[in-house]
């Protein structure tokens, strides 16, 4: 018989902010908080948020360059992020993305996003999806 658990808050016993979950095969555990996306966005044109989590606003820096500003900062500037861009107006080609250490300083409060077409020119695109994993401050 299946069980149903309804709660508003989960808190670890040993460490309040840490809950271990038994993984596949029942032989390992994973930390619930570490496995959650702490910020994500589906945006359009580097200016309009279609949907998001933990994104307060966007800054359109220049053509092909934007910045996602977090509602809640990360504890370190070295969190993990990934995503993709595309633009149907240019045949649906995929675009290289995201900050490079040569042009952006890592930040706990925002993530710089670059859209580069064919590895050379910055371009505004129709869709950007992006997510960040790491510890919040």
Q: Which of 20, 34, 18, 16 is nearest to 134 (CA)?
A: 34
Residue 55 is part of which domain span?
A: 36-133
pLDDT (0 to 100) of residue 136:
92
In this predicted model, which residue has the larger pLDDT, 42 or 48?
A: 42
Q: Is residue 54 part of a domain?
A: yes
Instruction: Say how far apart CA 81 and CA 52 lie, in whole Å.
Output: 14
Instruction: Give CA–CA dist 129/68, Å, rounded.
Output: 11
Q: Calculate the average pLDDT of the chain.
A: 82
Tokens of 26: 């029942």
Does residue 18 belong to any structural domain of this protein?
Answer: no
Q: Is residue 113 part of a domain?
A: yes
Which tens digit of pLDDT belongs to each residue from 82-112? 888 776 655 555 555 555 545 677 899 999 8
Overall average pLDDT of the 34-58 stretch: 88
Residue 45 has pLDDT above 70, yes or no: no
Domains contained in the chain, number: 1
Q: Is 107 helix (H, G, I), strand (E, B) or coil?
A: coil
Task: Extract the tokens encoding 54.
Answer: 């933990």
């Amino acid at each position: 018989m299946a069980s149903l658990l309804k709660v508003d808050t989960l808190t670890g016993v040993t460490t309040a902010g840490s809950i271990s979950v038994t993984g596949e095969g029942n032989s390992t555990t994973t930390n619930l908080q570490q496995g959650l996306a702490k910020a994500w966005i589906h945006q359009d044109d580097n200016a309009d948020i279609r949907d998001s989590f933990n994104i307060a606003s966007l800054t359109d820096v220049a053509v092909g360059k934007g910045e996602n500003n977090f509602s809640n900062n990360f504890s370190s500037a070295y969190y993990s992020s990934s995503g993709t861009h595309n633009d149907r107006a240019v045949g649906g080609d995929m675009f290289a993305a995201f900050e490079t250490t040569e042009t952006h300083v890592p930040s706990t409060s925002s993530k710089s996003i670059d859209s580069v077409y064919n590895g050379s020119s910055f371009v505004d695109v129709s869709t950007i999806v992006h997510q960040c994993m790491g510890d919040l401050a």
